[in-house]
Amino acid sequence: MEGRSGLTLLLTVMALSSLHLRSCHSSSDLQILTADRRIDLASHIIRVALVLKVQNDGASPASNVLLTFPPTQAKHLALLQAAEVTGKKKKKTLHTLDAKPSDQADGPNGAKFFSISLRNPLSTGGSVSIEVSYILTQSLEPFPVEISQSEPQLVLFRDSSSILSPYPIKQQTTVIRTPSTRVESFTRVEPSSQLRTELKYGPYENKPAFSYTPILVHFENNNPFAVVEELVREIEISHWGNLQITEHYTLVHNGARHKGGFSRVEYQSRPALSGVSSFKHLVAKLPPRVHSVYYRDSIGNISTSHLRTSYSKSELEIEPRYPLLGGWKATFIIGYGLPLKDVLFEADDGKRYLNFSFGCPIAETVVNKITNKVVLPEGSKNPSVVVPFSVERRAETKYSYLDIVGRPVVVLEKENVVPEHNSLFQVYYEFHPMFMLAEPLMLTSVFFFFFVAALAYVHMDISIRK
Amino acid sequence: MAVPVDTVTKQPQPPPPSPSSLRFAFGNVLAFFILLLIGVLAFSIRLFSVIKYESVIHEFDPYFNYRVTQFLTKNGIYDFWNWFDDRTWYPLGRVIGGTVYPGLTLTAGTIWKVLQSLNIPLSVETVCVFTAPVFSAFAAWATYLLTKEVKGTGAGLTAAVLLAMVPSYISRSVAGSYDNEAVAIFALIFTFYLYIKTLNTGSLFYATLNSLSYFYMVCSWGGYTFIINLIPMHVLLCIVTGRYSSRLYIAYAPLVVLGTLLAALVPVVGFNAVMTSEHFASFLVFIVIHVVALAYYIKGILSPKMFKVAATLVVSVGLVVCLAVVGVLVAVVASSPTKGWSGRSLSLLDPTYASKYIPIIASVSEHQPPTWPSYFMDLNVLAFLVPAGIIACFSPLSDASSFVILYLVMSVYFSGVMVRLMLVLAPAACIMSGIALSEAFEVFTRSIKFYISSLSEFLETDAGDVMPGSNGSPQFDVLKTEKKEDSLKERPSRKNKKKEKDVVVVKEKSSVKSKTEKRPLVLPAEVSFFALFLTVLLGAFYVVHSVWAAAEAYSAPSIVLTSHSHDGLHVFDDFREAYAWLSHNTEVDDKVASWWDYGYQTTAMANRTVIVDNNTWNNTHIATVGTAMSSPEKAGWEIFNSLDVKYVLVVFGGLVGYPSDDINKFLWMVRIGGGVFPHIKEPDYLRDGQYRIDSQATPTMLNSLMYKLSYFRYGVYTT
């Protein structure tokens, strides 16, 4: 184990030393005075908070600040948010800044740039404080790859002790928080220390641009690595007063794979020692006033769930049919109804709009691909969507209960979704209430004609012989 | 008596038969609504399983049917006929299209298609779950039609309401019990109805419908042989008792010709329709009926003397020919391997056949002969009402009523052989009981009516003004009884009318004559009231029992087990847990070995290939699995390895106390395995003839794969 990780480390160092030589690449003359980075490894979703103090040493004002991520991290970057901090500690105010992938060519070794647009261009000699938070998914690598039922789950986390940046950094520290004190090993880059659940790297002084010192943290993380490979949510609006949500999950335990046999008895009798990294139950946070909640899969109802409703929220605690050990999969469906008046409103221009949450309601899960299908009532027109982040949008038509022209469906797709994406989105559309009567009228007329036909038949004599 | 007066005054338009036609129309509407309610009752009494458990397919065979239906709806009918299923009987596979009775699947598939074309998004599973209750309603209506042909509308409605909730039928048709019997019982009753209808009318139209209905029955269930043997028997009975008529010929001949041709279209039957001995009776009777028809024809054109001469001639020649034919038949039958009879049919004729020769048939609990309590459980009061119904059928004996009697007698015999054929008995018992109840009600109400009319007559003749109270109360009673009987059946109300007419006649003519007319059917009023009360009570018992049976005894889906303990309800969902795990966490092509009980469920719920399943068509293959389970670990592994098995599914209930687990069935595996592979000997697994799984068990038992799998590390958990 040690030998292999040591070898990879060596290779990375060699690769990056060549990077050092070419670090004159830096485009503008910004420099970072202080950088504080806190990496939270408590769950399998890695949350990083980065506080930068940027100063402009160049001649011209700078309007953008670049952030750099190694290609592996850029791939797993789920969310990136930036805010400018003004005022001192007590009166601190945050102004959200726009952060998006930069169109600049990749940096050394394929490093990806993201650019943050400042509110006001930074004049020469001026400085600004920026708080960046970003979320990485699937960046913890289980090691050993396979564990048996009685073993805890150990994972590896790779990063750099110094912050990768296109600008030189005068002073920086990195704090890594682990879920427990049980850390098998971590790369020492002096000065570095461990204090209970925190590993501290730094402070490092005067690191040039693009400096990168790989580190490896090997620690115990028994949090369930709940990954929803695919989530399809169907949100169906009925103007008769109900919103029906059906969510199809493909859930997988993405941690260390299970090896050997599984003993249910042992699992149940000694929960503290057996299958610690598995997940027994998941909690889905549903809106208040849900009704007709069901939890099933393709072969019927799953009887292990509890629903707790309160004023402000409902909590659905679900257990898969079997405990999910590493690498195991399960599929299931959660469905529920909501009173329509809680989520459907009328805009000023007469349009109606649905105001509903986007992401996966299950706590602390990563969704590889989410598909939200908003099924509008038959006869609605001109749907438009407002989502706070970029999504792919398609249109479909769905036929349900006696439809003739079909219901327009707005399909919104997004990959790599974390709980932070659980914000509200809106779908605007035009709808005339007359369409509500179409189906009742249709049924009435069918019965009417049936009775007329029966009447006619009774009064007709179609026999050939009298 | 107030009612008819009202109706007379109310209707001005049609002049001549005014009161009767209106009452007739009213009766029809009432009967229609009663039938509608019976349908609703039949459907809703079967929903206990959905309400108490969930909308899910039950038990074993329904899972196979469900899987076939899924395939049908996904791939269409042509792929369905040609479907070679490589997920079962690995490595042999099974030709599903040619070995399955497609009636149920096609029915549910069609319902699904129709719903889909109306854009009603019901899943295939939902359609399958509710097919049985829907067809139970149809079966109740078919019973009404059949009994109506035999004994009139009143008996029909009573029989229909009895069938709607007969526990025996409920046990096979609760929501989720998606099995052949669900639609087959409807087809059976409907075929009988059309036969009787043809017999009563002599219409070729009904004869054709009868063949089509028979075709549907052949599509649905192997029990169609019951029809094709029962109807010839009845025809023979009619001929022997001198009841031959052209109507009988029309009812029978087209059925044999068209029915056999249509039956041969069903792949699973095919040439069996003419080649197996189950069908020979119908052909024999077909010949007989033609001979008889010819005889009648010749009798018609010859003088009696000439006919006598001709008859002696023909009989002597005919006897020789018949002997020759019988000889050929016997030779043909004897030359086929199982003497031309399939194992299940043989066990029908000889109840001990299966347990003696075919352990695989004997190992299924529903193939065992029933116990007496099961008659009471499944038929309840019907068992006592049936004899009364038979008596009622004999007065007067018609073609139709003789058929019903024959049906009852045959089905009683078959139900005594195999517990699951109780299902065939249930409609017969319902019809008989319906007739009995209806006749009883008729007699009681008629005598009450007579009593009242004679009372009022007496009062009228005695004095014009008596106390209004005493006059009013019997009339009130009349209304009450009328209501009661109307809710049960409609026929007596017509009888009432006739009676009332008679009463009018009585008033005009001498009362003595009418009394002599009525006397044989009239009971004393007090007795009638009491008997009426008792009959209603009997009916109430039946309803209570049926609802209890539907709710408690027959709605458990058997894949979910529940148990009540002091701290509430416990749900054991371990079967589906295992299947779901297999389905999500093993490779798609992995082979799962298990005892055949779980074959259908594994293919349907886990979508994995199994070695053997509930179809049990290949005894050797099942014996191979049985041998592997009974062998020591190494030998068992070798057998399973040769079958590419990656997972072995074993059900063990020792820890939680679930009695019907695999170790409980283990002796059957030994027997079936030993039947083909002689090195497996049953005595090796028994200690002094006792089946033991404790420390006293024999070494062979302790070393068998099944035992080792079941009790793997068992000591660690219990000590």
Same structural domain for residues A210 and A250?
A: no
Q: Which two tokens stand for residue A115?
A: 């650019």
One-character DSSP codes across B502-528: HHHHHHHS-HHHHHHHHGGG---HHHH
What would the pLDDT profile of A381-415 be if each residue is shown by its tens digit? 889 999 988 889 999 999 888 888 889 999 999 99
Residue A333, Ramachandran bin (φ over 0: left; ψ between -120 and 50: alpha; else beta):
beta
What would the pLDDT profile of B626-646 be if each residue is shown by its tens digit? 898 888 888 889 999 998 899
Out of A304, A321, A402, closest to residue B580 by CB: A321
Mean pLDDT value across residues B222-236: 91
pLDDT at position A305? 84
Q: Residue A192: which CATH number?
A: 2.60.40.1730
Task: Answer yes or no: is pLDDT of B84 > 80.
Answer: yes
Q: Is the pLDDT higher at A4 or at A51?
A: A51
State how far the Cα of A49 lies from the Cα of A69, in Å rounded to an integer.
14
Out of A269, A321, A328, closest to residue B576 by CB: A321
Same structural domain for residues A410 and A280?
A: yes
Contacts of B713 in chain A (CB under 8 A): 263
The number of CA neighbours under 13 Å toward the Cβ of B505 is 11
Out of B54, B121, B585, closest to residue A329 by CB: B585
The answer to whether residue A445 sits within a structural domain is no
Radius of gyration of chain B (CA): 30
Candidates B119, B203, B651: best to mutate against A (most CBs of A within 10 A) is: B119
Does the distance separating the beta carbons of A328 and B581 come in below 8 Å?
yes
State how far the Cα of B681 lies from the Cα of B704, in Å rounded to an integer.
12
Same structural domain for residues A231 and A307?
A: yes
Out of B119, B580, B585, closest to residue A399 by CB: B119
pLDDT at position A281? 81
What would the pLDDT profile of A182-226 be if each residue is shown by its tens digit? 888 888 888 888 888 888 987 888 888 888 888 999 998 888 888
Cα dihedral value B545, B551, B555, B558, nearest 10: -100
The answer to whether residue A399 sits within a structural domain is yes
Same structural domain for residues A204 and A291?
A: no
Q: Which two tokens stand for residue B473?
A: 């109360």
Cα–Cα distance list, A403 to A233, A377, A378, A407, A440 (Å): 21, 10, 7, 8, 11
How many contacts does A have with B, using Cβ atoms within 8 A? 53
CB B247 within 8 A of CB B198: yes
Least confident of A10-24, A271-285, B153-167: A10-24
Mean pLDDT value across residues B596-601: 88
SS3 A292: strand
pLDDT at position B231? 93
Task: Answer yes or no: is pLDDT of B496 > 80.
Answer: no
Contacts of B49 in chain A (CB under 8 A): none
Q: Tokens 């115990």 appear where?
A: A220
Does the distance separating the beta carbons of B571 and A400 come in below 8 Å?
no
pLDDT at position B12? 45
- Chain B residue with the nearest C-alpha to that of A294: B54
Cα dihedral value A382, A386, A389, A395, nearest 10: -20
Nearest chain A Cα distance for residue B604, angstroms? 9
Q: Tokens 């706070």 appear where?
A: A388
pLDDT at position A58? 81
The vertex-B650 CA angle with B646 and B651, nearest 5°, equals 155
What would the pLDDT profile of B498-525 be if each residue is shown by its tens digit? 444 444 444 444 444 444 444 556 778 8
Task: Answer yes or no: is pLDDT of B620 > 60.
Answer: yes
Q: Is the pLDDT higher at B211 or at A268?
A: B211
Same structural domain for residues A341 and A369?
A: yes
Out of B56, B713, B717, closest to residue A300 by CB: B56
Spell out the alpha helix ranges (H) of B177-279.
Answer: 180-201, 204-220, 224-240, 246-265, 272-275
Q: Prior bond to A101 cis, omega within 30?
A: no
Out of A299, A303, A331, closest to residue B605 by CB: A299
Contacts of A329 in chain B (CB under 8 A): 584-585
Under the banding of pLDDT at 50, 70 and 90, the label for residue B334 is confident
Mean pLDDT value across residues A321-331: 88
Task: Answer yes or no: is pLDDT of B15 > 80.
Answer: no
The answer to whether residue A263 sits within a structural domain is yes
Closest alpha carbon to B580 in A325, A230, A299 = A299
Using the 3D structure, point to which of A176, A204, A220 is the last residue of a domain.
A220
Domain extent, residue A167, equals 30-220
The answer to whether residue A4 sits within a structural domain is no
The answer to whether residue A43 sits within a structural domain is yes
Q: Tokens 């040591």 appear where?
A: A6
User: What's the domain count of chain A?
Assistant: 2
For chain A, first and last CA: distance in Å?
A: 100
Domain extent, residue B606, equals 571-716
List beta partners, residue A238: A242
Q: Is the pLDDT higher at A88 or at B639?
A: B639
Task: Answer yes or no: is pLDDT of B43 > 90.
Answer: yes
Cα–Cα distance list, B54 to A300, A451, B4, B150, B560 (Å): 8, 36, 50, 40, 10
The answer to whether residue A378 sits within a structural domain is yes
User: What's the domain count of chain B?
Assistant: 1
Closest alpha carbon to B626 in B612, B642, B614, B638 = B612
Which positions ≥6 away from A47 have C-beta within 8 Å? A39, A40, A133, A134, A135
- Chain B residue with the nearest C-alpha to that of A398: B119
Q: Which residues of A43-64 are buried (b: 16+ CB within 10 A; e: fewer)?
A: bbbbbbebebbbbbeeeeebeb
Does the distance separating the beta carbons of B119 and A403 come in below 8 Å?
yes
The percent of residues above 90 in pLDDT, for chain B, comes to 31
Contacts of A405 in chain B (CB under 8 A): none
Under the banding of pLDDT at 50, 70 and 90, the label for residue A71 is confident
Which positions ≥6 away from B522 have C-beta within 8 Å? B446, B447, B450
- Parallel, antiparallel, or unpaired: how do β-strands A291-297 and A300-301 relate? antiparallel
Task: Answer yes or no: is pLDDT of B487 > 60.
Answer: no
Q: Is the pLDDT higher at A267 or at B566?
A: A267
3-state SS, B451-489, equals HHHHHHHHHHHHCCCCCHHHHHHHHHHHHHHHHHHHHHC
What's the pTM value of the predicted model, to 2 decimals? 0.84
The answer to whether residue B635 sits within a structural domain is yes
Does the distance separating the beta carbons of B577 and A322 come in below 8 Å?
yes
- Chain B residue with the nearest C-alpha to that of A399: B119
Using the 3D structure, point to which of A220, A241, A266 is the last residue of a domain.
A220
Mean pLDDT value across residues A129-135: 91
Cα–Cα distance list, B240 to A90, B68, B236, B474, B688 (Å): 111, 46, 6, 51, 57
Rounded to 10 deg, the angle between the B180-201 and B246-265 helix axes is: 150
CB A68 within 8 A of CB A356: no
- Chain B residue with the nearest C-alpha to that of A322: B577
Closest alpha carbon to B387 in B366, B409, B370 = B409
- The torsion angles phi and psi of B324, rounded to 5 degrees, stand at -60, -45
Same structural domain for residues A258 and A216?
A: no
pLDDT at position A23? 38
pLDDT at position B356? 63
Same structural domain for residues A141 and A60?
A: yes
Same structural domain for residues A245 and A390?
A: yes
Same structural domain for residues A45 and A162?
A: yes
Task: For residue A449, give the amino acid letter.
Answer: F
CB B686 within 8 A of CB B698: yes
- The torsion angles phi and psi of A131, rounded to 5 degrees, stand at -105, 125
Using the 3D structure, point to which of A220, A254, A275 is the last residue of a domain.
A220
SS3 B188: helix
Cα B328 to chain center, whole Å? 35
What would the pLDDT profile of B132-176 be if each residue is shown by its tens digit? 999 999 999 999 999 999 988 999 999 999 999 999 999 889 998
Nearest chain B Cα distance for residue A297, angstroms? 9
Cα dihedral value B362, B366, B370, B373, nearest 10: 140
Contacts of A402 in chain B (CB under 8 A): 118-120
Same structural domain for residues A109 and A194?
A: yes
SS3 A318: strand
Out of B56, B576, B584, closest to residue A331 by CB: B584
pLDDT at position B350? 66
Which ipTM was obtained for this model? Answer: 0.85
The answer to whether residue A203 sits within a structural domain is yes
Task: Answer yes or no: is pLDDT of A123 > 60.
Answer: yes
Out of A263, A300, A328, closest to residue B576 by CB: A300
Q: Is the pLDDT higher at B538 or at B10?
A: B538
The answer to whether residue B637 sits within a structural domain is yes
What would the pLDDT profile of B249-304 be if each residue is shown by its tens digit? 999 999 999 999 999 999 888 888 888 878 888 998 998 899 888 888 888 888 88
Q: Residue B589: which CATH number?
A: 3.40.50.12610
Closest alpha carbon to A62 in A31, A25, A106, A100 = A31
Chain A residues with CB under 8 Å of a chain B CB are: 263, 265-266, 269, 297, 299-304, 321-322, 327-331, 399-404
Contacts of A297 in chain B (CB under 8 A): 580
The answer to whether residue B227 sits within a structural domain is no
- The torsion angles phi and psi of B565, rounded to 5 degrees, stand at -135, -175
Mean pLDDT value across residues A364-388: 91
Same structural domain for residues A56 and A178?
A: yes
Same structural domain for residues A131 and A273?
A: no
- The torsion angles phi and psi of A286, rounded to 5 degrees, stand at -110, 160
The answer to whether residue A12 sits within a structural domain is no
Which positions ≥6 away from B655 have C-beta within 8 Å? A265, B714, B717, B718
For chain B, first and last CA: distance in Å?
A: 82
Contacts of B559 in chain A (CB under 8 A): 300
Contacts of A303 in chain B (CB under 8 A): 560, 571, 573
Burial of A369 (0-12, 13-18, 19+ CB in 10 A): middle
Which positions ≥6 away from A328 have C-beta within 8 Å? A252, A253, A258, A322, B581, B584, B585
Contacts of B584 in chain A (CB under 8 A): 328-331
